Amino acid sequence: MPTFVYMTRCDGCGECVDICPSDIMHIDKTLRRAYNIEPNMCWECYSCVKACPHQAIDVRGYADFAPLGHSVRVIRDEDKGTIAWRIKFRNGKKDMELLAPITTKPWGSATPKLADEPAPSKEMRDSELLFNEPKYIRMDEGGLHTLESNGLTIKKGVYY
């Protein structure tokens, strides 16, 4: 099913080509617009649909099991931090709009730059701890779980 591209909406910008995880959105050399070159390697993941600035890409369900006449459209907005869906049934009886958040922070602002974090001590290096640990494990002062702390041994044999 694959994705397909509306001739009159596509301007050949290549955003879909850039994002497709399956490398199947390519630019047609004659028409200078994008198209799906390998529908049977399309996962209907909608990455290209979401990335297209002109809503030029849509999905028509896999021909081997999905009848024609349905629609699942989407607008993903990083500035608003939302994704909006509209699902329309083939028989027209269901027409649903669904909205979900995609992030709780201004887009791209909250991921840390670890190069700027203070360097870990030797003690930390020699421990089993990772970045932000032990704090982030339980968000308190507790330590990392070990076999000893949890009253465990590791043994050969058949145990259930």
Partner 1 sequence: MAYKTIIEDEIDILVAGAGLGGTGAAFEARYWGKNKKIVIAEKANIMRSGAVAQGLYAINCYMGTRFGENNPEDHVRYARIDLMGMVREDLAFDMARHVDSTVHNFEEWGLPIMRNEKKGSYLREGRWQIMIHGESYKPIVAEAAKKSADKVFNRVCITHLLMDDSKENRVAGAVGFNVRTGNYHVFKSKTVICGAGGASNIFKPRSVGEGAGRVWYAPWSSGSAYGLMIEAGAKMTQMENRIVLARFKDGYGPVGAYFLHLKTYTQNAYGEEYESKWFPALQEMVGKEYLDPEVSHRTHRPIPTCLRNHAIISEVNAGRGPIHMVTMEAFQDPHLEEIGWHNFLGMTVGQAVLWAATDVDPKYENPELTTSEPYVMGSHATGCGAWCSGPEDVSPPEYYWGYNRMTTVEGLFGAGDAVGGTPHAFSSGSFTEGRLAAKAACKYIDDGKGEGIVVSDKQIADLKEKIYKPLETHRVYSNEVVAGSVNPNFINPRQGLDRLQKLMDEYCGGFGVNYMTNDKLLNIGLKKMYLLGQDLEKVAASDIHELLRAWELKHRFLTSESVFHHTLFRKETRWPGYYYRGDAMKLDDENWHVLTVSRRDPKTGEYTMEKAPLYHLVGDIEKAAPEGH
How far apart are CB 55 and partner 1 at their closest, in Å? 15
Q: Are 26 and 37 in contact (CB under 8 A)?
A: yes
Question: Residues 4, 13, 26, 75: which binds partner 1 (CB under 8 A)?
Answer: 26
37 touching partner 1, by CB under 8 A: yes
Q: Which residue has the tokens 């290096």?
A: 125
Cβ(4)–Cβ(60) below 8 Å? yes
Q: Which of residues 105-134 bind partner 1 (CB under 8 A)?
A: 105, 107-115, 117, 119-120, 125, 128, 130-134
Q: Under the criterion CB under 8 A, does residue 153 sit at the interface with partner 1? A: yes
CA-wise closest residue to 53 among 23, 86, 18, 21: 18
Asked if 46 touches partner 1 (CB under 8 A), the answer is yes
43 counts as catalytic: yes
Residues 6+ apart with CB under 8 A from 75: 55, 83, 84
Q: Per rule CB under 8 A, is residue 83 in the interface with partner 1?
A: yes
Q: Is 6 or 89 the residue whose CB approaches partner 1 more closely? A: 89
Catalytic residue among 43, 89, 107, 136: 43
| 15 counts as binding partner 1 under rule CB under 8 A | no
Encoded amino acid at 27, one letter: I
Reference 46, options 96, 86, 79; nearest CA is 86
Strand 71-77 and strand 34-36: the pairing is: unpaired
Looking at the Cβ atoms of 7 and 100, the one nearer to partner 1 is: 100
Q: Which residues are catalytic?
A: 43
